[in-house]
Structure 1
Amino acid sequence: MAPELLTPLDLAFWSIESAGHPLHMGGLVVFDADAPDAAQRAARLLAARAARTPGLNTRIRPVWLPVGAAARHVTPDYDPLDHVHLAAPVRDFCAAAGTLMQQPLDRGRPPWAAHVLPGADGTSFAVLFTFHHAHADGMRAASYVLSLLDPTDADGTPTDADRAPAAAEVPRPRKNGSGLRLPDPRTLPGLVRGAVTDAGRALSIGSAMVRAAWDVHSSPALTSRATGARRADGAVVDLRDVNRVRDSTGGTVNDVLLAVVAGALRRWLDKRGDDSDGVRPRALVPVSLRDPRDPGASGNRLSGYLARLPVDEAEPLARLRAVRAAMERNKQAGPASGPGAAALLADVIPPLGNRFGGGLIARSGRLFYDLLVSSVPLRGAHGLTLADSPVRDAYPLAPLAPGQSLAVGITTYEDRVCYGLLADAVAVPDLDLLARSIAEEAAELVAVCDT
């Protein structure tokens, strides 16, 4: 297979990472063990399936042309045992995941790993999957994880677990999904019109970013010196409760999930003695531009919305209404405009700009958003197992930008909404307090809607 050039956005993600500040995403999947040796069998299965999963064997290497660019190459000596690791038994899966998330992926190998964590009590185990953001966006990473679990029929019934997994497709050049115009290269007028269109859109997005950077109502608790230390935690909310709130108030499930984050932040700040008055942090909510008919396509296909979280609003339903209004404004404007669409600017920056401007790009994130709140759908996933052990929970761990102390990931599996929290361990030693606040906020929303 010929090398595949990284897209500008992929190159930007690859370039902004530093040894002291890893920039990979994770997914902590917890299983109910069907036998005491379930974790050991899971590790063997993962290694065997990873050997047969196209895309997992590609590493990133610089190329001569274009200058400053990089490409994905198939690794000739690829060995899944370099990526699947069986740990000693642990008592706290989230604590172990936090420690592992602060370890950079080996940039000389395909940038992914699977850490199998046996539970100390023998009744459960977990797998922490990690992928560099240059290798996969959230949906692509989810497709990799699903391909490594036990195969299932359309109704979710597990089938022969030893057959080759339904793998992601072989990486191939992506179609334009950024919203930026692709002119007809055969005509000079087409090139000129395309350049003018792209420049105008870049100017619009850039000016929106500047305005967002001027109007800051955040909290010092959400900013930190980039230490590279990590802490992880999670919270689970009943999806039926979320649907009850949505049915009572209108809007979308995602509106309710964001409102829960806003209320949990308010509780957390108040409990730790910080002031929540006037706090309206800017939450970057990634938007996938991936074609649902082409889930295996390589590269990142992302834009985003920027939403103010009404942390300073005391009344739960008022917080929900404010979140819903903010998201409706974003959707009306579309994912190719506004400060949340900053990812699209990578397409108009030459490779050398992304390569050598990585440090500046990394530090600029905190200027226009305060925390990442990313929703990772597990499309059609139910009845999932590994080594015949059923999935209990799945916590997405979003990458943490330099200068920010907290990132929130959300996914829904069967009747459970799982919030995955990744934080700077120095800045947020009380992440468990925020996890409890999520559950408390969801319960209060349900109670208010039931009265």
Structure 2
Amino acid sequence: MSSELLAPLDLAFWHLESAGHPMHLGALAFFALPPVAASAAAPVPAPGPVSAPGAGGGGRILDLLATRAAAIPRLRMRVRDVWLPIGGAAWSVAKDFDVRRHVHHIRLPDIDFAAGAAALAGELMERPLERGLPPWEMYLLTGGREGGGGRDGSFAVLVKLHHALADGMRAVAIGAGIFDEIAGIAGARTAGVRRVRTVPPTSWLAGPRQAAGLARNRLEELGRALDVGASVVRSSRFDPRGVPALSAASSGTRRVGTAVLDLEDVQRVRRAAGGTANDVLLAIVAGALRRWMGDRGERLSPADPRALVPVSRRRPGSPPGSGNKLSAYLLTLPVRDPDPRSRLAAVRRAMDRNKEAGPSRGAGAVAVLADQLPPLAHRFGAPLAGGAARMLFDILVTSVPLPRSALSLGGCPLREIYPMAPLARGQSLAIALSTYGGQVHVGLVADGKAVPDLGRLAHGLREELEELLTLTR
């Protein structure tokens, strides 16, 4: 487990980052008291799950987070420059790794704990990760009282992972190592690292048939890349303003919002209208944006906003592996359509067309192009690529898969988990969704100054689901 070259897309994410545009993923998880401690049958409440001797609290869970994070080999890796390939970089084990530089405890005032945790998450998400260290952080958030956060003693954990370290599925595989059900079993195995494998030049002489096959594959990949590149050019808008409500010069600040949707309600709409649950969620996003823009008094743009919808290029059942394996679909969100059912039908048709073409074709598959560029191009071209994002799409809407089984930390059940995505340059909003415990948890990340009314958008998501549910009954 010595070193590993960054894959092209990982390298692109590493160089896309700037002080005002950190490129880390996040997740804000809320935990409840253990069932026995929370039971009304217990005459005396058990000690809080994060209590420890001495002032400050948070000791037991903080120690548990540190111990389990340190046991995940991937979290010991940092990025270093390499001589070859020129412009490249590699993951290597940080010899001076100290997990306490990455795991922190913050106590919040005794107010609305969930709201306070979300507000603090926004402040923490706007801070770039220190590039000389393994690029991740975890924060244990508790209340001002000894022993817990919420009135019932609950607490929260915020996780930040650089996008170069993980895509959505990879982030889940790494982060899962902190949970009771996975720590020490699958966490270390799925989040491990592999050695760099080099192919000696003599192999080309020893296996000409194999060399010919590799050449054919390379030509096919280049052909697909040219096809994607042409689609990107055709789909780009050379008016850089985009949709006004979703475009803003970066202030360097971040605001985090959350919403909870009932999964069974989403499935009821799906069964009545057809398509997939993801189609329903994308239509809900479109309707919520329409409501939000109306509440702001903004005139709808002549063009509907376009969403970049990431999809995994990992094969079903395959191990997570290392490196980002992403593509995406480009989807026009029918915000101008006043009919919720018509919006859902439009989303379903567009997603069916995307799926028929596949995740490696079309303008949305722009991530595929990263595999065809040399490392030096990523190093010097990333700022240009980051600035051009608003010409292709207005908003990121991503779904993050989670394990279906119940999860806990130190015996404390996971109650809610909100994924968070980074903002592209010139854009003011990103939406991430995950399903857990019969609920869809929506994490909203916005530019703090451009979107001060993020809570209204969160409310609009719930309103849109209620209306769809009523109309499809």
Does 143-152 or 263-272 show the bigger shift?
143-152
Q: 1:303 aligns with which of 327, 340, 343?
A: 327
How big is each residue's C-alpha offset from its partner over 1:73-117, in whole Å with a ceiling of 9 and x where there is no partner? Answer: 011121211111101225321111100000111111111111111
Indicate the larger mover: 184-193 or 386-395.
Answer: 184-193
Query: What does residue 288 of structure 1 align with?
Result: 312
Match status 1:77 vs 2:101: no
The 1:286–1:186 alpha-carbon spacing in structure 2 relative to 1, beyond 3 Å, is farther
Gap change, CA 1:306 and 1:281, over 3 Å in 2? same
Q: Structure 2 vs 1, CA of residues 233 and 122 (structure 1 numbering), >3 Å: closer, same or farther?
A: same
The answer to whether the 8 Å contact 2:108/2:117 transfers is: no
Which one of the candidate residues 77, 91, 110 is aligned to 1:58?
77
Aligned-partner residue type, residue 370 of structure 1: D
Q: Is residue 2:234 matched to residue 1:211?
A: yes
Q: Partner amino acid for 2:193?
A: P
Question: Which stretch of structure 1 is more off in the superposition, 388-397 or 319-328?
Answer: 388-397
Contact 2:3-2:196 within 8 A present in 1 as well: no
Matched, 1:166 2:187: yes
SS in 1 for 2:390: helix
CA contact (8 A) 1:262 1:310 kept: yes
Correspondence for 2:39? none
Check 1:104–1:246 CA distance in 2 against 1; reply closer, same or farther (3 A cut).
same
Distance 2:177 2:242 in 1: 40
CA distance in 2, matches of 1:288, 1:191: 24
Query: Which piece of structure 1 moves more, 165-174 or 17-26?
Result: 165-174
How far off is 1:190 after superposition?
4.8
The aligned runs of 1:10-409 (5 Å cut-off) are 10-34=10-34, 35-38=47-50, 39-90=58-109, 91=113, 92-119=116-143, 120-123=149-152, 124-151=154-181, 166-167=187-188, 168-172=190-194, 186=208, 190=213, 193-214=216-237, 218-276=242-300, 278-380=302-404, 382-409=405-432
Give the deviation of 1:197 after TM superposition.
2.6
The answer to whether the Cα contact below 8 Å between 2:399 and 2:434 also exists between their aligned partners in 1 is yes
Counterpart of 1:180?
none
Query: CA separation in 2, counterparts of 1:303 and 1:209?
Result: 13
Aligned-pair identity (%): 49
Q: What is the identity, as a one-letter code, of the residue corresponding to 1:89?
A: L
Matched with 2:470 is 447
* 1:125-165 deviation per Cα after TM superposition (whole angstroms, max 9, x unaligned): 1111010000011111111222111126xxxxxxxx8x666
DSSP 3-state at the match of 2:165: coil
Task: Give the CA deviation at 1:227.
Answer: 2.3
Paired residues of 1:307 and 1:326 also in contact (CA < 8 A): yes
Q: State TM-score, norm by structure 2.
A: 0.87
Gaps of 5+ in 1: 153-160, 176-183
Counterpart CA distance in 2 for 1:350 and 1:404 is: 27
C-alpha RMSD over aligned residues: 2.1
How many residues align? The count is: 432
Structure index of larger Rg: 2
Partner Cα distance (1:293, 1:347) in 2: 23
